[in-house]
Amino acid sequence: MTANRLLTYSLTLLLALLLLQGCTADTLPGGTDTPPTSGGDEDGSGVYVSVVVNADGGTQTRATGSPKPGEEGDGNWPGENHENAVHNLFLYFFDGGEDGNGKRKGINADGNTPIIGPIEFSLGDNLYGTGTRYYTEPQEIDGMEIGKTYDVLAITNLDGVKMSMDFYTLGELRDAASAEAITHTTGNMAWFVMSSANPTFDAAKRINSVEITGDNSKNNPATVSIDVERLAARIDCHVNEGGEYEVEGTEGDKVILQALVTVNKYTMNDKNLETKGYYERSYWFKRVSKDTELAAGMAVNYLGDELPADGTGPAANYVIGPMTLTPPDIKDRGDDLQPYDHSFYYNKDDMSHWQKNWVSIDTLESEITSEQDGVTYHRLDYVEENVLPAEMLDDPTNREYYCTGVMFKANYIPAGFEDKQDKSFYWYQGKAYATLDDIPVDGIDSSNYEDYGIVYYFGGTCYYTYWIRHADDGDPAKISPMEYAIVRNNIYQLNVRSINGIGSVTPTGDTQVLVSVYVEDWTDIPTNPVEW
């Protein structure tokens, strides 16, 4: 089962990833919130089922290493109440049968298996609970039979008006996808789409599977527990007070971080459906490859774990996101036949997509928090799954287009410029000059200085970009599977620890940084140093 996963990165700029993990309680909670059951005569002769939904887990954060490969990453974080809330619930039942060892096949059963559903529940109507535990009233479900065992899959917080919820086979259900990982974004509230997370289907333990016994009734329903995880991931950041840093390796240069913004967010949504297909949406249910070989139409393992299971060594398989097997072209084709037009899905090379979303340091520090090793991180943004093949990302240009990252806007103040009213300067061979006349190069003027490698920083403004890493392979010279990625239900924590140089003069530039990374489930990831 996937816990809330946390990734922490030190950015000597530092980043962390946070993931949430569902718990596995298999009994209905008691107390005053327990829904009433009917007294007197039993109604009807159908099959009744009651469901417990667990939206959060209790695993502890691990605090060592760079972002670790594997399912557990670097730890867990519980999330906020609104991130865990279940507002509606859709259930699908099916009989997936058993494998040769007598274990339920569950979601990985034959794709032609017929399903029963959706069975819909709404909070306050026939769904109850708060925090991270929700449970349903006993529900009569047509099509289920006494003496049979059924598996169940769940999806929550969908806006059913925007899409069909009807599926006839398990294969159709497994291919279901949402245009949004977060719905009902009104005011400060939002509904986080969550889906089944636990790969275990066990009727004896009432985990994702339920046996319909002969004494089943409305007053004695079959009960089953389902863990769910968010389709979205979260990015949290920590910066020095006031965003101020001494630049390492200089004699008094300073940087003051002013604002930050997420770039290269995967942006598929419903307005795209007139020209794009459903396959670009975020899959309801997590899917992983069996190894690191990728191919269109390949077999996948649904609700499978990231490998290796113990987190040692480089990642041994992929999480399959909507763009993993069919990455979009970088350049617009300029015709009506562009199913993989890059700018349609990502936002970095079109500044208008993200420029309005700058978050000031003051605003950042007022946002909700996570913690790691005594450091407090503040939420920057929510993002959707974004996984590309490692071979594509070997090319730094491709990383600039495909990898989700965080851009920082800063003021660079060279030593001696603190008291200058005009903070603009020219930069040449690692040194700042107030005017072109101060630079020891003959023949330069305002028309040709760029030909000499001289850069003009207006107002001292510069930019730093950090591409988020999900699984560290320990080899800075090699790009491994899942090294740069965004995976559902993770919190990526970035801690800007130090800055080692000047940033790029334009927001489309890419100033390199050195990063140590940890990964955890919505959950925190231990701190990793990132350096510019």
Convert the pLDDT of each residue in 24-33 to its tens digit: 333 333 333 4
268-285 pLDDT tens trace = 644 444 444 444 578 999
pLDDT attached to residue 263: 87
CA distance 255 to 27: 55
| Average pLDDT of the residues of the chain | 80
Q: State the average pLDDT over residues 352-357.
A: 73
In the predicted structure, residue 467 carries a pLDDT above the cut 70: yes
pLDDT the model gives residue 391: 93
Say whether pLDDT at 103 is over 50: yes
Q: Is the pTM higher than 0.75?
A: yes
Residue 493 has pLDDT above 80, yes or no: yes
How far is it, in rounded angstroms, from Cα 90 to Cα 153? 8
pLDDT-derived band at 401 (thresholds 50, 70, 90) equals confident
- What domains does the chain contain, in order, with CATH numbers? 23-59+80-230 (2.60.40.2580)
Query: For the stretch 289-322, what's the b/e string if a residue is b when 16 or more beta carbons lie within 10 angstroms of its beta carbon?
Result: beebebeeeeebbbbbbbbbeebeebbbbbbbbb
Q: Are the CB atoms for 285 and 107 separated by under 8 Å?
A: yes
What is the pLDDT averaged over residues 91-104? 97
Q: What angle do CA 1, 368, 382 make, to 5 degrees?
A: 55
Asked whether 256 and 244 are in contact (CB, 8 A), the reply is: yes
Task: Convert the pLDDT of each residue in 44-77 to its tens digit.
Answer: 448 999 999 998 643 322 222 355 555 555 556 6
Both tokens of 104, joined, read 């339920």
Q: What are 424-446's pLDDT values in tens digits?
A: 999 999 999 999 999 999 999 99
Average pLDDT over residues 302-314: 86
Q: In whole angstroms, give the CA distance from residue 528 to residue 519.
A: 10
| DSSP single-letter state for residue 35 | P
pLDDT of residue 113 exceeding 90: yes
451 confidence band (pLDDT: 50, 70, 90): very high
Contact status, residue 379 vs residue 367, Cβ threshold 8 Å: yes
Rounded to an integer, what is the distance from CA 37 to the centroid of its chain?
A: 39
Amino acid 284: pLDDT:
94
pLDDT at residue 338 in the model: 41
Render pLDDT for 177-194 as a digit per residue (tens, 0 to 9). 887 888 877 766 789 999
For residue 137, what pLDDT is reported? 94
What DSSP designation does 193 have?
P
Rounded to an integer, the average pLDDT of 126-136 is 92
- Per-residue pLDDT averaged across 201-209, rounded? 97
Distance CA 494, CA 255 (A): 17
- Higher pLDDT: 191 or 311? It is 191
Indicate if the pLDDT at residue 365 is higher than 80: yes
DSSP annotation of 460: G
372 pLDDT band, cuts 50/70/90, is confident
